[in-house]
Every structure is written in C-alpha cells, then in structure tokens.
Structure 1
Amino acid sequence: MTEATEPPAGATRTVRSDRRALDAADAARVATFAALIAVLGLPGSLSLFGNAVPITLQTLGVMLAGAVLGARRGALAVLTLLALAAAGLPLLAGGRGGLGVFVGPSAGYLAGFVAGAFVVGLMVERLRRVTFTGVLVAALVGGVGVVYAFGLPVQALVTGVPLPQTAWLSLAFLPGDVLKAVACAGITVAVTRAYPAALRHRTREG
C-alpha cells in the first residue's frame, strides 16, 4: 500500500525534463528561423524608382516564421533577429545593422515584420487544415498587408514624402511580395506533408 501511495517522483522528474527539452527545442526553432531570415538578406537588396526602402527577400523568412512556428514563436524569431541587428550585427538586407536602421525609412517595416509574423502565425493556427489557399491568405494579410500598414506611414514620416506618394512608390514591392506569399504557402504545405509535427503549435496554442 505504501508503494502505491508514494508520489511518483521519477515520473515528476520526467515530466519536468520533457518540458525543459521542449523549451530547448522551441528555442532552437526560433534561432533557426532567425538565422533563415538573416540568410535571406545575404543576396542584398534592391531599390527601385528612387524608393528609400529596398526590396529584400527577408519578408519571405518573416512569413515562413509565422506560418511554421506559430504566432508567438514566429514573432520571437523576428525579434531575435532585430535584437542582434540592433547590437550591431549586419544581419539585415544589404549588410545593415546597428541602431541607425531603427530610425531610418525602413524602421516601420521592421516593426511590421514582428507584427506580420504574429498575424501570419495566428491565422495559420486557426486553420482547420493547412492548405495552400489558407496559408496564402495568411501570408498576404500578415506578411504583406500588416507589414505595409506599419511600414508606409513611418517611411512617409521619415522621408517627408506624402503618404499617398509613398504608397504609390511602394507598389513596386507588391508583385515580389505576392510571389513571396505564394512561395511561403507552397513551402509550408510541403513541410506539413513531409513533417506533420512541424506545425504542432496549431494544437498547442490557441
């Protein structure tokens, strides 16, 4: 009887160990996607039609972070990258880093990266089934719409260019960003089919 009523100390240790291991796995995923976003900036950036904000592939990494990691972890991956960039590491497109980038024309877009990853993740978490169309809509809303909503007003304020003109100039981003959203949807669906556990946040986070 005594053995039956003793607290399962070993089981308790196992549960706690599993939680620690899970936290470590999440941290590794966050770090991996922060690195992915940085790597997508290695090809550099391209400025079109005199726009003060360059075109970069890093938006694709932001979309993928939200879609694959979920809202909280996706946003954390972007925050990790931005914190390292603020510390001076040249991790943003074109080898940019330091506090100066957070007061320049791109500052709003960088804040939008965090919000965008969160919204993409939140929308994917709410999908009953991960489909190309569902992820595409999430990527367009969060990775394009939200990022623009943060970025355009700040760009207009910093550059002194009226908001309507800034928005007009930024239409040059739109075709590329739509293609990134398409790529995000295709990659996310492929990852889900090949490794279903990759999107287990859909059942763990509300």
Structure 2
Amino acid sequence: MLVLGAALFTAGLSQLAVPVPGSPVPITGQTLAVMLTAAALGPLRGMLGQLAYVVMGAVGLPFYSRAASGIETVLGATGGFLVGFIPAAFLVGLAAQRGLDRSPWKALPLFVAGQLVIFAVGVPWLAVVARLDVDTALAKGFLPFVPGALLKAAIAAALMPLCWRLGRPREA
C-alpha cells in the first residue's frame, strides 16, 4: 500500500505542471513527490514507488504531467527524467535511512542531490532523443529548472522533519 501510495502521490503532483517555453519538459511537482516519498519510505519502497509510477504511466494510466501516458512518453524527450526518479528515490531513501532527512539543514542538500540524480539521467536522455548538443540540452532540460528544483528541495526539507515529529508515537 505504501508503494502504491508513493506512485499515486507522484501522479497527483505531476498534474501540477507549468510549461517551459522552448522546452519539451514542463516544471512539475513530481520531483517534490519523489523526494518526500523516498525519504519517508526508504530505499527499496521509495524506489519501488517510483518504478510503479513509471510503469503505470507507461501502460496507459494518465499519470504523467498533463495526464500524459504511454510507453512513447517514457521513450520520448521527457522519459529520462521519469526514469531518473527510480535511482534518485533509491539514493535519497538510503541517505534518509541514515538520518540525513531529520533536520532541514541536512535534508536540503540531500534533496538537491536527489534532484541532480534526476537531471543526470534526464538531460543526456533529452539530448539523445531530441538530437540536441550538450549546451542546448542543458538550456532546455536543466537551467530553467534549477530555481524550481531548489524551491522543491527547500519545501521537502521543511516538511520532512515535521513529518517525522508528527509520526513519532506520543508518550503516555
């Protein structure tokens, strides 16, 4: 249920999409969902949640931004970002398992690093699929997204310690 919840949460936040002029990649809430679910669920369940998200969208559920779906989306220009959610979730979950998400000052660099993993998969994929040179791929798939990535990392960093406090059992 937790893995399915992570996939559904990511699908929900993917619908918060803002087109970026000149780029096939929109700004979405997906990466916020990836960071939060990975930190909350740990490496295996966090990764499986994102794998389930990618697979469910690939088979036709309207899970990707603007209710897109299908294997052609995964194999297209934005597919590398979707695939990048899987290793990012594993690595963020692994770091969170070691307590790096318990304070905002530790969580912020963790969530920035997690998003960099997504870019590290997504930008080269974009370059290959769209036949772009490196500079153009960075201009279309990375640079416009840096402010949003930092904002989403800050939101996730602020929310995780609160989530851990709320989830801690109260003493009698």
TM-score (normalizing by structure 1):
0.77
- In the TM superposition, what whole-angstrom CA distance separates every residue of 1:50-88 from its partner, at most 9, and x where no partner exists? 012111111110111111111111011111111111110
Aligned to 1:78: 50
* Match for residue 157 of structure 1 among 108, 119, 128: 128
Structure 1 moving runs of 4+ over 3 Å = none
Aligned to 1:190: 162
CA contact (8 A) 1:67 1:135 kept: no
| Structure 1, unpaired ranges of 5+ | 1-27, 198-206
* Match for residue 175 of structure 1 among 132, 147, 150: 147
Q: Distance in 1 between matches of 2:8 and 2:159?
A: 17
The one-letter code of the counterpart of 1:196 is R
1:39 aligns with 2:15: no
The one-letter code of the counterpart of 1:86 is A
Q: Distance in 2 between matches of 1:116 and 1:179?
A: 17
Identical pairs, percent:
33
- In the TM superposition, what whole-angstrom CA distance separates every residue of 1:84-127 from its partner, at most 9, and x where no partner exists? 11110111111111111111001111110111111111111123
Q: How many residue pairs get matched?
A: 168
5 Å-filtered alignment, 1:98-117, equals 98-117=70-89
The one-letter code of the counterpart of 1:159 is A
1:53 aligns with 2:12: no
| Structure 2, unpaired ranges of 5+ | none
CA contact (8 A) 2:39 2:101 kept: no
Q: Distance in 2 between matches of 1:49 and 1:99?
A: 24
Q: Distance in 2 between matches of 1:46 and 1:156?
A: 21
Q: Distance in 2 between matches of 1:103 and 1:41?
A: 18
Which of 1 and 2 has greater Rg? Answer: 1
RMSD of Structure 2 on Structure 1 (CA): 1.5
1:29 aligns with 2:5: no
The one-letter code of the counterpart of 2:86 is V
TM-score (normalizing by structure 2):
0.92
Aligned to 2:90: 118
Deviation at 1:47, TM superposition (A): 2.5
Q: Distance in 1 between matches of 2:28 and 2:83?
A: 15
CA contact (8 A) 1:123 1:138 kept: yes
